[in-house]
């Protein structure tokens, strides 16, 4: 069994084992008929008592996900497609339960009240760089003008002026070939992925995802009933030859692979487009973090290289402006426009007219381009400082993955490295927060290391944070068993 | 075959027949193996040429939805579950097509540029009544305060203060038993229905819907793969005994049935709750238009009568404030909170912090309650004027369905009535717009008549609009064939 189980500090051990196995069944990593490892074997591997594993298995059996066969171990039963019935049968009287798939999907709690002095967590820009004064002026104007409207005046594809402004903006900045009619404005990139999923994914459709990759899109498509196929990422980006024959859709981050940060090579881009043409496949291009470039000339996006109309291009203004603004878009071929717009209308009708009008102005007045130039200078300086700091203080354990854009840097572990969960825990007690690369893996993680964001930290704090991180590495190396870095072996951190 | 086909003025006749039959297959009204009526028979019934029907059938066959059997007519083939493969196989080279279900769902075009002098179309409040000055003040303050935030600071269930304010508001105004933790703030009621659908509906789950009822929720749940069951509505509301045994979920508008406007009786409410307890079913209570009450004491919502925790209560501020604001909510039991919040996070992360903070203030400062009292007086006056006008000028053809709340009134046709499509077309050329009751039907319409909204019309314009409508009725009665009003017979208007 190739299932990666990792035990953390939160929650009971039985609960953690149960949840991760359950998620593996729903993901399709554990298929119907697969045998679970003997309780004794898994207990040894995870360094827990055999009873802890046995209780997790019993719960899986009680949930109808696994079955014990006398004298022959425990096997996964066919739990798909998830049905309301199955959930209801096991529900306590009076309680309404969601579909089984939602039991494996937890809400990411908000960060409220958790100020971290040295915050390297990826995923957020520095909101102090946002031009609040200009934005408030534009919003005040937009509220005045867009106010006396009927809901039915608002187009589900978005504000006319904003659709045109976005088409011009990505045409100039990213060489995307498009016009206003191709643009559907969304409530952030996440809603763009959602609308795409709803119009393209039937239960069982196979979606190829980068491994490691962006968990929120994986969970989203899984919640829509898709089957996910993990495709590895190497120095050139997604390994196109490893896309399984059953895949219909590929989700990819070519400008700045999440989380590794690599740029997909031109050769690979061509190979991926050839795959789509040959197979009649669809490519979802998440042009994640492409705005903040500090090295080299950007490669053209897949969308502009595509001759067959098989690429859906997704962008977002959440990182460029403020995450709280929730403004993104998808640029899609005409053949998908009616369905995407209908899906938007059925999901939530349309976006906020005032915020959309304000953003259109912001782009048209040249403020967006100016803002991007300004913040890119800031982030480039932080990138240089973080990479130099890793080289100077952490090169014994980490090696920077080269990157040319974005708000974070990935650093893979090298040689003998201490248990990274232990490092992160020790860093946390010293006021330093960072993410672990293996947490973005779908299958057995090939890449482990750290992901260090610099949207929430700047200047001298970067050096001090990295120095504290080095202290955590040293302490963890002394106290925890040193492990060899191995390729395809299951990693079990914690205990 | 019980399929209702209605030919309008828009689009080719073949196209209309094809689309309606295709939709019937996707709806499950036409099942696999069902025989389509002979082309000759349907042609006579619809008063079109036989070739027109034959072409529609040929297209269904070409789409793989129907098959001709030699010498034995045309039959529906198994077209569910819809799969990407099926769509792709028939796609022209290079074009990406959506799932088949989306072919039957069209986007409702925005009303831009279509000012109607006498606009009785239902569904929009009068935005002239909205307190723009107060709202702008609150928004300006909220933009200032809620600005320097991380996206990850925002909870997917919504702004804390707004969740608490909504819980208090519906507790006081609607006797809903709840607290802030039960509230998920949504992007309008439509997103609330979407989140509920995603956590409860598996492909094939049967959802009972009011017939006639709200088309946008039908289309939404159909797009999520649910099977819809039409349940009739009588003087007491949804006919609970007619809910099919297979149904797991019921969608209902008890305060002000859409579109008929009736209030569900207390006896029926008790029966529906008993159904949910007995069957382990779930009730989605859309407390549509309950705010604007102009007669009688309101009945308690199902949510507050429910002892088993099986009711999800959905409300919206779009009608009370401005549709463009897109603020609604669902109040759900604790057992569904993690899944609903995760679904919100995967769909679009969270709502607009500034608008949510402004609404919290608006409620807390008592402005919402004051605003509702003020607009209710306006709408009550309009309701009285519309119903009196129908009585005075249109009682030969229409009878008002009694109602005690809301922004529209339904009027059922009585006795001999002219073709209503003809009436609506003639009224349109006189500057009057209204909706037809049968357009909200799922199956053969039992109720026909008009739906007259008064969010977009007031004062003397109401009388003048109804006078013009009466002229249209008279003209249509003279020229078009008068039909008896019949119960369960297929109605085919237009030709």
Q: What is the pLDDT of residues B459-490, one digit of tens each?
A: 999 999 999 999 999 999 998 554 444 433 32
Contact present, A206 and A247 (Cβ < 8 Å): yes
Other beta carbons less than 10 A from residue A205's beta carbon = 22
Chain A CB contacts of B201 below 8 Å: 84, 99
Out of B153, B204, B219, whose CB is closest to A111? B153
Angle of helix B39-46 relative to helix B50-62, nearest 10 degrees, comes to 120
DSSP A30: S
Tracing tokens 């196109």 back to the chain, one arrives at: A240
Contact in structure between A118 and A460 (CB atoms under 8 Å):
no
- Per DSSP, B253 falls in state -
DSSP string spanning A277-288? HHHT-EEEEE-T
- Reported residue count of chain A is 495
User: CB neighbours (10 Å) of residue A122?
Assistant: 23
Distance CA A173, CA A138 (A): 23
Is the Cα dihedral B172, B173, B178, B184 positive or negative?
A: negative
Angle between helices B367-393 and B353-364 (to 10 degrees): 80
Q: Answer whether B74's CB lies under 8 Å from B36's CB.
A: yes
CB contact under 8 A, B348 and A84: no
pLDDT of residue A339: 94
Closest C-alpha to B342, from B195, B177, B122:
B195
**pTM for this predicted structure:** 0.80
Which strand (E) or helix (H) includes residue B16?
Answer: helix B13-27
Profile chain A (495 residues) by mean pLDDT over runs of 10 residues: 70 78 69 81 85 79 67 68 33 71 77 76 87 87 65 80 95 91 96 97 96 94 95 95 97 95 92 95 92 77 92 93 88 94 92 90 94 92 96 96 90 88 94 94 88 93 97 89 41 28
Q: Which residues in chain B land under pLDDT 50?
A: 1, 79-93, 148-149, 151, 482-495
Nearest to A136 among B143, B186, B203 (CB): B143
The answer to whether the CB of A247 falls within 8 A of the CB of A207 is yes
State whether A146 and B91 contact (CB < 8 Å): no
Judge whether B422 and B480 are in contact, CB under 8 Å: yes
Q: Which of A149, A245, A347 to mutate to test the interface with B (most CBs of B within 10 A)?
A: A347
Using an 8 Å CB-CB cutoff, list chain B residues near A190: 346-349
Q: Give the integer Cα–Cα distance in Å for B179 and A385.
A: 48
Structure-token pair, residue A216: 């929120």
Return the beta strands (E) in A25-86 as ranges. Answer: 66-69, 73-76
pLDDT at position B487: 37
CB contact, 8 Å: B245 with chain A?
no
Nearest to B318 among A82, A151, A282 (CB): A151
Look-up: residue for tokens 């209902």? B252
CB proximity A327 to B under 8 Å: no
Topology adopted by domain B118-122+370-491 = 3.90.1150
When CB atoms are compared, the residue of A190, A312, A323 closest to B150 is A323
Query: What is the CA angle A451-A452-A456, rounded to 5?
Result: 140
Structure tokens at B393: 């000028």
Structural domain boundaries in chain B? 13-86, 118-122+370-491, 128-366
The alpha-carbon radius of gyration of chain B (Å, integer) is 24
- Answer whether A304's CB lies under 8 Å from A167's CB: no
Check if A198 contacts B (Cβ < 8 Å).
yes
Q: What is the CA radius of gyration of chain A?
A: 24
Residues of B in contact with A225 (CB under 8 A): 203
Q: How many CA atoms lie within 13 A of B465 on its CB side?
A: 27
Three-state SS annotation for B390-410: HHHHCCCCEEECCCCECCEEE
SS3 A19: helix
Q: Please tell me the predicted confidence (pLDDT) of residue A164.
A: 96
ipTM of predicted complex: 0.78
Report the residue of chain A nearest B219, measured CA to CA. A346
Joined together, the tokens standing for residue A408 give: 């974070």
Domain B128-366: give its CATH code: 3.40.640.10
Can you tell me whether residue B366 is helix, strand or coil? coil
A159 touches chain B (CB under 8 A): no
Is it true that domain B13-86 has CATH number 1.10.10.10?
Answer: yes
Measured CA to CA in angstroms, residue A194 lies from B24, B228, B485 at distances of 26, 23, 46
Q: Residue A346: its chain B contacts at CB < 8 A?
A: 105, 190, 194, 216, 219-220, 223
Spatial contact of A24 and A14, defined as CB atoms under 8 Å apart: no
Nearest by CB to residue B335, choosing from A97, A144, A351, is A97
Residue in chain A closest to B125 (alpha carbons) equals A150
pLDDT of residue B63: 55
Task: Identify whether the C-beta of residue A142 lies closer than 8 Å to the C-beta of residue A361.
Answer: yes
d(CA B256, CA B409): 10
Location of structure tokens 């995450």: A323
Query: What is the C-alpha separation between A97 and A88, in angstroms, rounded?
Result: 7
User: Measured between alpha carbons, how far is B423 from B330 in angstroms, rounded to an integer?
Assistant: 39
């Amino acid at each position: 069994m190739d299932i990666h189980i990792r035990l953390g500090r939160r929650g009971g051990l039985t609960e953690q084992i149960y949840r991760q196995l359950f998620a593996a069944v729903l993901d399709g990593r554990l298929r119907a008929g697969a045998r679970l490892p003997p309780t004794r074997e898994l207990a040894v591997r995870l360094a827990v008592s055999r009873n802890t594993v046995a209780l997790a298995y019993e719960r899986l059996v009680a949930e109808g996900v696994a079955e014990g066969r006398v004298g022959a171990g425990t096997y996964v039963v066919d739990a798909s497609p998830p049905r309301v019935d199955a959930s209801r049968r096991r529900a306590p009287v009076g309680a309404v339960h969601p579909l089984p798939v939602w039991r494996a999907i937890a809400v990411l709690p908000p960060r409220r009240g958790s100020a971290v002095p040295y915050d390297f967590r990826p995923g957020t820009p520095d909101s102090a760089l946002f031009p609040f004064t200009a934005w408030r002026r534009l919003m005040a104007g937009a509220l005045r003008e867009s106010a006396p409207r009927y809901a039915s005046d608002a187009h589900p594809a978005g504000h006319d002026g904003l659709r045109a402004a976005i088409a011009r903006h990505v045409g100039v900045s990213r060489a995307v070939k498009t016009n206003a009619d191709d643009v559907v404005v969304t409530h952030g990139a996440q809603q763009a992925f959602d609308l795409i999923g709803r119009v393209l994914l039937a239960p069982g459709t196979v979606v190829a995802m980068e491994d490691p990759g962006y968990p929120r899109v994986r969970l989203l498509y899984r919640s829509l009933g898709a089957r996910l196929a993990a495709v590895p990422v190497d120095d050139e980006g997604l390994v196109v030859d490893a896309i399984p024959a059953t895949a219909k859709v590929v989700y990819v981050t070519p400008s700045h692979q999440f989380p590794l940060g690599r740029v997909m090579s031109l050769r690979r881009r061509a190979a991926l487009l050839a795959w789509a043409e040959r197979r009649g496949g669809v490519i979802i291009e998440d042009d994640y973090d492409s705005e903040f470039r500090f090295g080299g000339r950007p490669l053209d996006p897949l969308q502009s290289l595509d001759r067959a109309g098989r690429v859906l291009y997704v962008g977002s203004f959440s990182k460029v402006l403020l995450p709280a603004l929730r403004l993104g878009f998808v640029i899609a071929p005409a053949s998908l426009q009616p369905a995407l717009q209908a899906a938007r209308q059925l999901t939530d009708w349309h976006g906020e007219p005032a915020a959309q009008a304000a953003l259109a102005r912001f782009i048209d007045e040249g403020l967006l381009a100016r803002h991007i130039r300004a913040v890119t200078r800031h982030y480039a300086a932080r990138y240089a400082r973080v990479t130099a700091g890793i080289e100077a203080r952490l090169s014994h354990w980490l090696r920077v993955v080269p990157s040319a854009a974005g708000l974070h840097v990935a650093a893979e572990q090298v040689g003998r490295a201490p248990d990274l969960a232990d490092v992160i825990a020790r860093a946390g007690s010293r006021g330093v927060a960072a993410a672990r690369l293996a947490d973005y893996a779908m299958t057995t993680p090939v890449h482990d290391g750290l992901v260090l964001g610099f949207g929430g930290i700047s200047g001298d704090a970067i050096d001090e944070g990295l120095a504290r991180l080095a202290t955590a590495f040293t302490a963890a190396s002394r106290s925890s068993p040193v492990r060899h870095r191995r390729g395809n072996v299951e990693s079990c951190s914690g205990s």
